[in-house]
Amino acid sequence: MANEKPKAENKAKGGKGKEGKKGKGGGKFVLVMILAGALLPFGLPTVLVCLGLLPTLVALLTDTDEHRSTTATIGFLNIAGVFPFLLDLWLRGQTMEAALAIVKQPTNWLIMLGSAAAGQLLLYAIPPAMAMLTITQYETRVKSLKEAQEELKKIWGPDVMNVTGLDEVRKRNGG
C-alpha cells in the first residue's frame, strides 16, 4: 500500500518514471563500485570476507526509504556479524588462506547472514509495534484537541469556528 503512491506517481510521470528508476539504480551501482573500490586497499582477502555483507548490498539496492532505515537496520547488524571474521582475518595477517578458511565454514556464513536476518527481523517487529504506540498517542491527542474545541465553543459560542465580523456575531447573539 505504501508503494502505491510512488507507483501512481510513476504512472503519472509515464516513461520518465522508468528512466528515473533506472537512473536511481545506476547511482546505487556506482555507490557499490565506489565501496568495492574502497575495500581494494585492504586486500583481496578482506574483500572475500566482505562477501558476508551481501545482504546489506541487496538492502542498499532495494531500499526505497528516504532515510535508508531498512539498509541501516540490516546493514548495522550485518556489519556486526561480519566484523569478528574481519578482525580475525586482520589479526591473522590478512592472508588468502585465512580468508578462505573463514568463507569455507558454513557456520561463519550462518553468523554473517543470520545477523542480517536479525536486522530484517527487527524490521518486521519494531515498526508495527511503534506504529501501534504512535497511533494510540495520536488518538489521545485528537481526543484532547476535540475536547479543547468543545470547550472553546462552550465559552465563545459557535462563532468561534468561523470568521464572521464581530458586529455580526453580536447581532446573532442578540447583543
Partner 1 sequence: MPPEPAPQQNLGTGLSLEGRVNIYPDAPLPEFAATGGTVYAAQMKGAATADLMAIVCMSSMPPRAELASMMRNIDNPSILRLRESGVVHWTAHNARYFALAYERPLAPRYWRTLDETHPPMGEDALHHFFVMPFVSALAEFERTGIVHGGIRPTNIFWRDGSATPPQLGECLSAPPGISQPVLFETIERAMTLPIGRGPGVHTDDCYAFGITLALAVLGFNPLAGTDDQTIIQMKLQKGSFNTLIGSRRLPTAHIEILRGLLTDDARQRWSATDLEQWLAGRRLTPKNTDAGRRASRHFSLGGKDYWQVRPLAVGLNANIPEAVKLIEGGNLDKWLMRSLGDEERAKDVADSVEQLKNSGKTAHYDDQLVARVCIALDPAAPIRYRGVAVMPSGVAGMLADAIINNGSIQIISEIIAFQFVTLWVNAQKDSKVDLVPLAQQMERVRSMIEKSSYGNGIERALYELNPALACLSPMLRGQYVNAPRALLAALDRVAAQNPARPAEPMDRHIAAFLIARDRRSDSIFIAMGPSEVPSRRALAFLALFSELQHRYGPDEVPHLAKWVLPLLDPVVKRYLSKPMQEKMKRLIKDAADKGSLAAMAHMIDDPRRIQADEQDFLHARLMYQDVTKEIAFIENKLSHRASVAREVGAPVAATVACLVAIAMIGLTLIRAIMQSLG
Binding site for partner 1 (CB under 8 A): 1-2, 65, 67, 69-70, 72-77, 79-81, 83-84, 87, 91, 115, 118-119, 122-123, 125-131, 134-135, 138-139, 141-142, 145-146, 148-149, 152, 154-157, 159-161, 163, 166, 169-171, 173-175
- Please say which residue, 9 or 19, places its beta carbon nearer to partner 1: 9
Residues 6+ apart with CB under 8 A from 44: 96, 99
Least distance to partner 1 from the beta carbon of 163, Å?
7
Coil/strand/helix, residue 175: coil
Least distance to partner 1 from the beta carbon of 15, Å?
27
- Please say which residue, 62 or 69, places its beta carbon nearer to partner 1: 69
Least distance to partner 1 from the beta carbon of 49, Å?
14
Please give the grid coordinates belonging to residue 13.
510521470
Q: Do the beta carbons of residue 48 and residue 103 sit within 8 Å? A: yes
